[in-house]
Amino acid sequence: MRAPALSSLTRWLRSRTAADKELLAASSTLMARAPQKLFVFFLSHALAALFDK
């Protein structure tokens, strides 16, 4: 009775770990690109404000 529950628990933990690793990789990629995107965002808004006057 205990063995199947234990194996399903370890299987669930392994799948969670894999999902967490994917999420961590995606978030680190996003954080690596975030400063560049923020810079482009602020630059475009500054240029738009400059030329709107």
Q: pLDDT tens, 14-49?
A: 888 887 888 888 877 777 777 788 888 888 999 898
Cα 28 from Cα 53, distance rounded (Å):
39
Q: What is the pTM of this model?
A: 0.40
2, pLDDT greater than 70: no
Query: Which spans in the chain are helix H?
Result: 2-52
AA identity, residue 30 = L
